[in-house]
Structure 1
Amino acid sequence: AGPSWLKNAASSSNIAQIGVEDHDLTLAGYNSIKEQLSDIPNKPKLIPTGFMCNQLRAVKDAKEIELLVQAINFADQAIETVGATLKPGVTEREISWDLEKTMRELGADGISFNTIVASGPNGAKAHHKPTDRRLEIGDGVVIDMGALYQGYCSDITRTFVIGKVSPEFRKIYDIVLSAQETAEATASAGMSGTDVDGLARQVIESAGYGNEFGHSLGHGIGIAVHELPGVGPNSANTIENGMVFSVEPGIYIEGWGGVRIEDLVLMENNRPRVLTKAHKRDLVVI
């Protein structure tokens, strides 16, 4: 069983190598292809080409950017709408559902990944799963979410505070915001992912919180939430015009909580254009 056209093409064209998208090919699919080619005299080799597909996907065309912008708009509207309703007593799970429901009502096809709602000390976990913990006065609330629209994904993070904000929380928020805005203002096409990461990381390190920023600055996005380019300390990817990627610095303190702010940007005319529009300039206190 398998694609007979592949066997016919390989036999008639004397093909020596066949590329396969190895990142998504199942073992059953691989075995099926091998079976189809098993009795061909020249025995073409199967060559992994997933990396080539990923590289091609990294640079978006105009239609892809249009769909990404729409997915971003849904997430922007949902996080601002639901963020304004946060109050003591509401659970992380309830907030997560409200975000998904709101995005779908706006026109999104669904969520692009499992929503993160991390309140109070849970904010120290960068990939926290929503629980039945109820919001309390003084909590920080990190919300990381995205919409799916016609196959394309968005990704946004905003941090809110319930009630009066402490001086420490405001200080850390301002450091994270400064790190993000520095990267968004000074990144340029031709830089490596490591160099872009360093623009934000040096702001956080110079403020004394380098050890509390434990993940990469960002990642590409498109038909998957995580695509090339990588934007992190060990990324050799070159940032090119047409790439859309996240800028999401954070500070996480065990037992206290965390702050993360995330935008999606398009590298355009050698400079980043911020596509995410949800409010962030001043800490949102509910």
Structure 2
Amino acid sequence: MKFKDYYEILGVARTATADEIKQAYRKLAHQYHPDVSKDPAGEEKFKEIGEAYATLKDAEKRAAYDELGRHPSGQEFRPPPNWSGSRGGQEYSFDDVDLSDLFASFSKGRQGSQHQGRSMPIPGQDYELATQISLEDALHGTTLDLSFTVPEYDQQGQLKRVPHTFKARIPKGVTNGQKMLLRGKGGKGANGGPDGNLYLNISFIPHRLFKVVDYDLFLDLPLTVTEAALGATVKVPTLEGAVNLKVPEGIASGQKLRIGKRGLPKHNQEHGDLYAVIQIVVPAKLSDRERELFKELAKASTFNPRAHFE
């Protein structure tokens, strides 16, 4: 028969613990599962991984396997003398037999025929799905109708793309770039294994007025020259309606005015703030009267914004 290095297949040392073997199997089983693997040899690798784990997870089978010694994978070999006799008196013919069949026969001897052919539970595949919500949805929370397709095998063993449609509750207080876990909404498990999980990667739809930094919102607030110089009370939009904001006289472009608790909600029921960033705007075209007034102002004013140059 041909030798198969089960430790090499799972990528573990021969001294690996049972937990290390289990972890290696789970990682590789997900990687080469036929539902997700694009490797042309993925299905064959998946079978080899399951075969290796079925032997090494069982203490008696692993001990018997270790007695076979080390050989290059694929090399023809025969078990050492008296190896079959040490297996509880069972006799084996090593002609035209596969290594996996040999170790599968141990289960038949110990557990009886009712366990023959029982497949190992395989957890379903985890998936990630990107979705966008508005700032208003982040403020109040929302329910999304989600739909995506995953590869699954039907009863005839054919691989098909199966649609998954469900509702997902997005609580208020989510952040831009947050990853939400939806348990059991991923791929279907096989042979009684648990369904996989779905991870929602949430991002905010760009808003025409507001920019987001953590839980705070920033808004460019245009002011006229006279509003900036004399001060004013102006209406400022928020996610929950406009509020009146008092602008002090002499404010400069780039300064920020804070409007408390008008940002996005946090998990502790507090809110971020809204910052109005001052932008002084001059008209692109002046009327004759406006031009006259600006000329009068220029003559009367002693203000020199470039005095520090001198």
Higher relative contact order (CA 8 A, sep 6+): 1
Higher normalized helix content (fraction of residues): 1
Q: What interval of TM-score do these two structures reach, taking the shorter chain for normalisation?
A: under 0.3
TM-score (norm 1): 0.22
